[in-house]
Amino acid sequence: MTLDASLLWQFDFLIVLMVIICAVAALTFKDLITSAVVFGAYSFFMCLLWTEMLAVDVAFTEAAVGAGVSTVLFLGTALHIKRRAKD
Amino acid sequence: MKLVSLVVTLLLGALLLMATADFPDWGDPQSPASLHVSDYYIENSMEQTSVPNFVTSILADYRGYDTMFETTVIFCAGLTVLTLLRRNHRRQKKVVMSRPKRENQDLILTSAARMIAPMMQIFALYVVAHGHHSPGGGFQGGVILGASFILLALAYDLRTILDRLKERRALIMCGIGVAIYAGIGAGCLLLGGNFLDYGVWGKVLGVSPVEARSHGMLGVEIGVAITVMYIMFSLYADLSSGGEMDEGL
């Protein structure tokens, strides 16, 4: 397997860009539920990034835990606490 | 104050970015990890453990001790959430402000969840059993198994699922999962090997030590899957109902 097994660099760039956008957005949103969902999207892009780097086992875990279960746990918690951040 | 924290964060970020410049390039064949460590596993994993996916053989065999305590960490995390959130009304004597019971559950949601859940569970079992040959393993499979129950709990309500998957039983199973892992490890001691040295199980199973490593890994993966599955569901049950174990979300 050669080093250039990765796809186009433009594709990488797009994924990294989306990771950063999602990370900043998850921090910026005042509504916790929106934040939780955007954080799920962040996990999906991280999952794509891991797959892109051929770390498929890590990508699988990221998809199952990061995007799947932890989003549900965040949502479940957000519904029980004050929904909007103060600052 | 905000300005100060912004400056600190930016400085820290810049420092970290500068530090990453010193890392070896991604996939660099000359990096220290690729020179000494990876080669060994890539070349020897198949002969020593007969497991084609060497990520699994590293996690469950070469670094089995780490994985055992990772499972224990998950177990402790679940117990911590339970200890902090679970409330017992008989003791507290407070007025229960129960939310109105959902009279009619959504037919489309429940039917869809009923059809998807078995597929998820079979896929999860495949992920656990096939973790030796393809990406996946006990942890991922356990999470998917737990997610299938969470899906059902979302579509119906938490109480309906808790009637079938008793909280008490779930907690016992969490412990059993860790016990399977540690038990397989301790069994190696009894058979005259080192802790988590699965090769000696070959004497009992009647296979070669190499083959026994593969079976031992499957055993510990099953233990991990059981613990992770029940902990994930228990986490959801506690967090979504605020420890009341009532209707859930």
Among B27, B127, B150, select the one facing A72 at the smallest CB separation: B150
pLDDT for position B6: 93
pLDDT for position B162: 87
Among B29, B143, B235, select the one facing A68 at the smallest CB separation: B143
Other CB atoms within a 10 A radius of the CB of residue A47 amount to 21
Interchain CB contact of A17 with B (< 8 Å): no
The verdict on a CB contact (< 8 Å) between B139 and A80 is no
> B127 to chain A: which residues are within 8 Å by CB?
60
B219 or B29, which is more confident: B219
**What is the band of B102 on the pLDDT scale with cuts at 50, 70, 90?**
low
pLDDT for position B159: 84
Among A53, A57, A76, select the one facing B135 at the smallest CB separation: A57
How far apart are alpha carbons A63 and A57 in whole angstroms?
Answer: 10
pLDDT for position A6: 55
Q: pLDDT for A28-78, tens place per residue?
A: 998 889 999 999 999 999 999 999 888 899 999 999 998 889 999 999 888
How far apart are alpha carbons A42 and A18 in whole angstroms?
Answer: 8
Question: What mean pLDDT, rounded, does chain B reach?
Answer: 87
Question: How far apart are the CA of A64 and the nearest CA of chain B, in angstroms?
Answer: 6
pLDDT for position B146: 94
Give the A:B interface size as CB pairs under 8 Å: 52
pLDDT for position B119: 95
User: A52 to chain B: nearest residue by CA?
Assistant: B26
pTM: 0.86
Identify the CA nearest to B132 among candidates A59, A57, A51, A53: A57
Report CA torsion sign: B155, B157, B162, B167. positive
Q: Interface pTM (ipTM) of the complex?
A: 0.84
Question: What mean pLDDT, rounded, does chain A reach?
Answer: 86
pLDDT for position A77: 87
β-strand partners of A31: A84
Interchain CB contact of A69 with B (< 8 Å): yes
The verdict on a CB contact (< 8 Å) between B137 and A57 is yes
pLDDT for position A11: 87
The verdict on a CB contact (< 8 Å) between A79 and B240 is yes
Identify the CA nearest to B142 among candidates B157, B156, B121, B117: B121
Q: Is pLDDT of A23 > 60? A: yes
Q: Is pLDDT of B204 > 70? A: yes
Task: Supply the DSSP symbol for B59.
Answer: I
> B29 to chain A: which residues are within 8 Å by CB?
3
The verdict on a CB contact (< 8 Å) between A72 and B154 is yes
3-state secondary structure of B101: coil
What is each CA distance from A3 to A54, B26, B27, B30, B122, in whole angstroms?
A: 11, 9, 7, 12, 35
Residues of B with CB under 8 A from a CB of A: 26-27, 29, 53, 55-56, 127, 135-137, 139-140, 143-144, 146-147, 150, 154, 232, 235-236, 239-240, 242, 248-249
Q: Is pLDDT of A21 > 90? A: yes
Q: Is pLDDT of B111 > 70? A: yes
Q: pLDDT for B31-40, tens place per residue?
A: 887 888 888 8
Identify the CA nearest to B145 among candidates B234, B245, B232: B232
Among B140, B235, B239, select the one facing A61 at the smallest CB separation: B140
Q: pLDDT for B169-185, tens place per residue?
A: 999 999 999 999 999 99
pLDDT for position B226: 94
Q: Is pLDDT of B86 > 90? A: no
Percent of chain B topping pLDDT 70: 93
Q: Is pLDDT of B56 > 80? A: yes
- Residue of B123, B143, B245 to mutate, testing the A interface (most A Cβ within 10 Å of its Cβ): B143
pLDDT for position A2: 46
Q: Is pLDDT of B126 > 90? A: yes
> B242 to chain A: which residues are within 8 Å by CB?
80
Q: Where are the domains of chain A?
A: 29-82
Q: Is pLDDT of B12 > 90? A: yes
How far apart are alpha carbons A12 and A52 in whole angstroms?
Answer: 8
